Amino acid sequence: MPPFSFLKPFLFSKPFIKFISFQCLIKLERPAQKNTLVAYQLAFDLYENAPQEFLEQLKELLFKKEDSPENEETKPSPEINNLKSILSGEETIKHHMQFLIKNNHTDMLILKNIKDVVRGSCAHNATVIANGLMHTGTTCDDFLRENLDWISKATNWNKFNAVASLGLIHKGHEREARKILDPYLPRGDVDPYGFKEGGSLYAYGLIHANHGNQSVINYLTDQLNKATTSAVRHGGCLGLGLAALGTRSVKIYEHLRECLYSQNEAVSGEGAGIAMGLVLAGSMNQSAFDEMRSYILDTQHDKIQRGLRTGIAMLAYGMLEKAEPWIEILESFHSESIMRQTAVCMIAMAYAGSGNAEVVKRLLEKVAADPSSDVKRFATIAIGFVLSGNPELCLSHTGMLFEHFNGHIRYGAAIALGIACAGSGYKESVSRLGPLLQAKENFVRQGALIALSFVLIQHTESTCSNVVEFRKTITKTITEKSEDTITKFGAFVAQGILDAGGRNVAFSLHNRDGQPDMPSVLGTFVFLHHWYWHSLTHFISLAFQPTCLIGLNKGLKMPKIVFRCNTKASYFAYPPPLEDKKKEVEKVEVAVLSTTNKKKGGEEEEGTRTRKNGS
């Protein structure tokens, strides 16, 4: 059994939290160095596995003495301070960021070549998003700085997305977040539309995703309350949802609910619905479920319905059979497609990573029987979430769907297989996805491109030879003038995912222990709603995990260690950088006209006569 898989039934019980805190303190109070290191490792594992609410309760119990005035007796020891730093995530985030900055191998020529062929606002938007994904966590914004005039062409929601991409680039750079975003954050008189300001609040949430302290949450809440435009409210809602992800704070939920109810505006309502689900993820909050479900039926805005659909599904994250009563209620609305979609999405979230065969069977029945193409698509994608981390089983269940006449089912099958085979380089899945690149439907081709990037991320020619051909396919799709815009968008996103984090991150829905990772699952789930709204593409960054192994000593410093590896360096090598093809000037032989020859001949004869006369 993987570590910490036994925690779920007890995770939020007071006795269990006290038990964990006492174990940490017992280890630290014993003089043996081994015990201190065990306590540190326990804290690192807890930060990686536990949601924000659990960690906050644990820190409160461990460090409550620090609230009293310091003296020599109550002053915390260095070990306690280190433990606090680990549990707060500061150490993990710091070392991951240093790794991504130091080892950034993004090929800037790829971005330059893409920029040179971009035509139209959609491709411009996709290029900026791809740049953000490629530089996630590296703090390298050179492409934006070197192309300010080109970036300034972004308007309306493209401007929103461009500013939000700074949150991808500086993900984890929390101490400097306000300083970096200062030129864009709301202050005084807001732009009449507020796209820049809204994007900055979204970026602020992305930087602090799943790690928002009280100061960050207070700032975003305050800005949301002051917002006067739908773009600012939308960015504020998404940013607040990201920063408070998994906190299960009813107070934050109520702020978001107020934004939804008081405005009844489509765009900000969609953001509020998603954020409400992020904050209460896995809480099974009955009152929230009832309120959100009722509002779906009351509102006439499709965007609000979609946002609430996403949010409701996340309430049941990881709850398995406990979510069944809610699923039955949602399925009972036979005439409401949006409710049946919500039921399918809830199944995906409740059973993510469980591998439950009965659930997969139920989903396949919905694929076959439901009259709505949206329900069919979501049901097919849900199979990928349930069977994530099990490529062979997912392929056996979805293999027949790749030949289906309904394009929505084929799109869902592609995404499902991509999720289940994430980072595996599984050749059978690549061979299944390849033919979909030639599908007649543009959205199916888009799905195949994104799914292949899920499968082939972090792979080289040595580990999976298909990646070389896939890179060529992406370039061809982007540069071909005749290619459809929707397919092109998929190619841009696929390029960003394939080279994400400076080519130093993997895409996975599971942590190192093999357990479903909440931010990764929720981030991928929201990302897939870029089908409706491109601004949600940024959420895929929550599923990016740095591919590094960091060893620390008792002082939380990295010692100098030399490892011996018997595998060839080419096995782990970064893809070779593109070479800038310079246009060579060819020497062309000048055509000599007959009149020119006659003229030259006449001049030569005249010169000969002159020399004779002169002699």
Q: What is the CA radius of gyration of the chain?
A: 28
Instruction: Spell out, as residue ranges, where the chain has pLDDT lower than 50.
Output: 1-14, 18-19, 22, 25-31, 611-612, 615
Q: Is residue 461 located within the same domain as residue 542?
A: yes
List the structure tokens of 529: 């709603």
Looking at residue 28, its pLDDT comes to 46
User: Which residues span the domain enclosing 389?
Assistant: 353-420
262 found inside a domain: no
H or E segment and range at residue 546 = strand 544-546
* Residue 288 belongs to some domain of the structure: no
What pLDDT shows up at residue 150? 92
Identify the CA nearest to 395 among candidates 363, 359, 419. Answer: 419
Same domain membership, residue 555 and residue 456: yes
Are residues 113 and 19 located together in one domain of the fold? no
Residue where a domain stops, chosen among 33, 54, 88: 88
Q: Give me the pLDDT at residue 33, please.
A: 54
pTM score above 0.95: no
What is the pLDDT, as a whole number, of residue 52?
81
Domain end marker among 420, 450, 472: 420
Looking at residue 66, what is its pLDDT? 54
**Inside any domain, residue 522:** yes
pLDDT of residue 439: 94
Contact 222, 228 (CB under 8 A): no
- Whether residue 450 is found in the same domain as residue 546: yes
Query: Contact 255/221 with Cβ under 8 angstroms?
Result: yes
What is the per-residue pLDDT for 338? 95
Concatenating the DSSP letter of every residue in 445-510 gives HHHHHHHHHHHHTT--TTT-THHHHHHHHHHHHHH-TTS-HHHHHHHHHHHHHHTHHHHTEEE-SB
- DSSP secondary structure letter of residue 545: E
Per residue in 38-75, pLDDT (tens digit) is: 888 888 888 888 888 888 887 777 776 555 555 555 56
Same domain, 539 and 449: yes
Look at the chain and report how many structural domains it folds into: 3
Tokens matching residue 75: 């002053």
